[in-house]
Structure formats: C-alpha cells, structure tokens
Amino acid sequence: MSYCINPTCPNPENVAYSQRCDTCGSRLILRDRYRVQKPLGQGGFGATFLAYDEVLPGEPSCVIKQLRPSGTAPHFLQMARELFEREAKTLGRIGNHPQVPRLLDYFEEQEQFYLVQEYISGSTLQQEVKLNGTFSEAGVKQFLSEILPLLQYIHEQKVIHRDIKPANLIRRSQDARMVLIDFGAVKNQVNQALTGQSGQTALTAYAIGTPGFASPEQMAMRPVYASDIYALGVTCVYLLTGKTPKDLDYNPTTGEVIWEHLVLASDHLISVLRKMLEVSVRNRYQSAKDVLKALEIEPYLESLAQGLLVKSDKEQISNRTEDSAVLCSNPAATATGVGMAQVAAAIRARRAKIVEGTRLDVGRSPALPNSNSNGNSSQIQQSKIGRRLDTQSFLKAYLKGRRDFALHNLNLLNLQGADLSDTNFHSSQLQNTNLQGANLHNSDFGRASLTHANLKDTNLTKAYFNHADLEGADLRGADLSYAYLSNANLRGANLCGANLTGAKITDEQLALAKTNWMTVRPNGKRGLLS
C-alpha cells in the first residue's frame, strides 16, 4: 500500500506503486525515493510514518517524521519548527550510538519539513508490560544496566532527552537491546542561570515532556540532566507495577509520588528508586553514573535475559523455586555487585539448559564465589565471559542471523574481510583477533579488549569504543569516521593512514597512538599532532 501524507487528504490509502494520490493528487514518493506505507503515530508537533527507501538495494524500511503541529498560532508553529530542527541536529550528532536511531535524511519539500531515521523493529516497554505483565526486580536492574550507560553518553553530549518513558524505549528485535527513540523534545544545553525576557524563544513558553514522567523542574521549564533520571525512575515504577503516573497517588504536601506500597522489591532497589524520584533536584542522583554506582551492577551484564518479564503463574513458581536454590546456596554473594553478577550467571546457566539450543553461549555454570573468598579478579572476569567460540562457529552463528556476541571470548579468531556490521561485541575479548578489511560499521565494542588486534583497513565507521582497550592494535588505513572513542585506551595503537573524520577522540588519546602525515584528524585535516 502507498499512503498519502497530505494532512488534509480525506482518503490517504492508495494501491501499491501509485505515483499520485487518487483522492487529492499529491505525490506519493518523497524526495524521489521514499514511499510511505502506513502511519505509526502522531504527537503535538509531528506525525510519523513507516516507509521504505526505493533507491537503496533491498528497499530497506525507515521512519519518516513530518512536521505537523496540532496548533496554528504563529508562536506555536515557531516552537514546533525549532523542536523539529533540534531533533535532526541532535540525531545527526549522537546517532552513532548503537542504542540511538540513526538520522538518514532531513529535507523540505513543498513547504513541508521531513526527518528520515532508522527504523527500529521491536516492541516498546509499554507494549511488553501490557502483553506479558510487570517486570521482576532482576528485570528492572537488567533494564537499568542497559539504559543508564546510554543516558550517560547522551548527557556527555550536553543533551537532555526530556521525554523518557516506556513508549519511547524499544527492545530491538535484532539483538534484544534497548533503544531510546523520539528525540523531538531534546534540550541541547542546561541553563545555569535564568535568562532575561529578551533571551527567550518560543520554546520557553511551554513545558516540554510527558506529564507524570517529567520532573517538577522540567514542568517549570527548568530541565537539568537529573530530570532524565527522574523520568527513568518513573519508568521503573511502571515496569514494576504496570501503573502509569496518572494511576498513582501523590502526596499533596510534598508532591512526591506514592508508589512504594505497590512494589515487591528489595530495600536496596527501593532506596535507589526513591532517590531517583526525589522532588528536589539537589537530593536526586545527579548523573547516570551515580545511579549505576548505587545499584552496584555492571552495565551490559548479560544476565537474566530469559526471565525479564513475569510469565504464567505456574512458570513463575517453578522459576522462583529453582532460582531461590541458587541464591540460597550463597546468600552472602548477593551483598555486592560482583556477587550479584555471579548469582545471575548461575541462574542464566540453569535457564540455558532448560531452553537448550536457543543460545550459543551456554556453558558450565560458573561457580559462585565463596563468602570467605578474597574475590580473585581474574576468576571473576573469566566467569563473566561466555564460552569461547572458534572462527567457524562464530561465522556460522552470524550467518544464521545472530548479532549479539557480548561478553564472549573471541581471542585469536580469523575474521579477515568478514561483513560484521551492526554487531554487539560489548565487553568481549578480541585480543590478537584478525579483523583486517572487515566491515564493522556501527558495531559496539564498548569495554571490549582489542589489544594487538589486526584492524588494518577495517571499516569502523560509527563504531562505538567507549572504554575499549585498543593498546597495540593495528589500525593502519582503518576508517574510523564518526566513531565514538571516548575513554578508549589507544596506547601504542597504530593509526597511520587512519581516517578519524568526525570521530569522538581527544588529542591526549591521539598522543598515545602512532600517527603519520596520512592520518586524517577529527577535523578532516591530514597531519601529525602539533
């Protein structure tokens, strides 16, 4: 079907491959390449549609957002346009993160503004809860371990999302990872002082965000980074209770949400959520890193993946009984984040046996740390890494559609020239791995170890290397344009002839690596560091 996006068209549905709308005569092909299939939704400032790109091979799907303000007042139209342009600029800047939709196009046609972005296939958290029921405490912690590092990244780019809620968080079908969508309400800086009336724009006349999820200071038009922490806390309450903010009571004196009596969770998690939901900004967590530290969990811990949502009553009882046996075997282990990781790994291994054959990383259940143990770090790290895959097993899994190889031992593999774009290698071991000439576009290497890896002439455009270890890696001639290399260890890495155009990297990092006159710096110019 071809869908007409003329806002005034009374009958927008048309037969497939039509060139013009049968009802209003509008062109159905945008920018001579995008054909709209169906509407996805509409908000206060724009309508979104599912489309496909007829120019690219395979006609891949994409999302088109059309500026379509619900109000007609001049100042409202101005605000809508400001927000629309801001969303495009923000996605263009931060869309290299694997958990943010990529900006594909932005244009004006027949006095209409359009934004084209990557289509994320999957279910929103709101849909998951409605279909499967509320999350367990472990499920909420798993969710936070995935979304908090993303929130930290967004805030490091000086962006406040301002509309975090279950409907804007999608679990991607491809790899089951959380993706944050709808950057239409973003704010690109935090005002440290009140601006005078002359410095205001149309945006300052309205509070942006979703009532109930938006913090008090955000509704008062003074959002800060901690405002996103508040919205994330409300989202967690929804995941645990299934109740939206309008279904919850509020303390009329303090303005605090009354939710604790509805939640069945540990005192520790409740205390963390309580601080995330503090009405006073100064008493709230100030950063995503602070929340992660308080939770004592490691980001991207690949645990409890099979049991995030509440299943049938019979299955819940069975799982809780068997999981309790694992927990009770060493209650002291749950007192620390490391202990919690080991417990989660043991539960994961047990569940993997039940769902035999559904995952490749099923291995022996790692031993729980003894309560009297000194906590040997190498043993702990080894237990966090999934079983080792050889080259043949890895490539076979990839060809079958698998894209998530987080926490795997992939040392010494020969993957030369392989097409491995959009793959998740988060926290994996890739030491001395041969990836020469491979296509690793938009892949996630966050916290991965790539020491002495062969990445010569590799396509690493928009790859994510936050906290990755690239010491001694061979990156000669590699394309690292728009890659995210913040906090990556580049000591001794060979970047001679590498393309770093638009990459997120500091001069201090580059000073530790080997470069030459052929190295393209982030500003697009060739040459050595001055």
- Which residue spans within 80-239 are E strands per DSSP? 103-109, 112-118, 122-124, 169-172, 178-180
Backbone angles phi, psi at 430, to 5 degrees: -130, 40
SS3 320: helix
User: What is the rounded CA–CA span in Å between residue 231 and residue 68?
Assistant: 26
Residue 422 annotated as catalytic: no
Q: How many CB atoms lie within 10 A of CB 389?
A: 20
Residue of 32, 53, 163, 457 with catalytic role = 163
Sequence-distant (≥ 6) Cβ neighbours of residue 71 within 8 angstroms: 44, 77, 80
User: What is the rounded CA–CA span in Å between residue 242 and residue 454?
Assistant: 48
User: What is the rounded CA–CA span in Å between residue 217 and residue 215?
Assistant: 6
Instruction: Report in angstroms the alpha-carbon separations of 61 from 26, 51, 170.
Output: 22, 6, 16
* 117 closest CA partner among 102, 127, 129: 102
Backbone angles phi, psi at 136, to 5 degrees: -80, 170
Q: How many CB atoms lie within 10 A of CB 125?
A: 21
Q: What is the CA radius of gyration of the chain?
A: 24
Amino acid identity for residue 366 in this structure: P
Looking up tokens 């008090």, which residue turns up? Answer: 216
- Residue 461 contacts residue 442 (beta carbons within 8 Å): yes
The CA-to-CA distance between both ends of the chain, in Å, stands at 57
Q: How many CB atoms lie within 10 A of CB 357?
A: 7
User: What is the rounded CA–CA span in Å between residue 76 and residue 58?
Assistant: 39
Burial status of residue 464 (CB atoms within 10 A of its CB: 0-12, 13-18, 19 or more): buried
Which residues are annotated as catalytic?
163
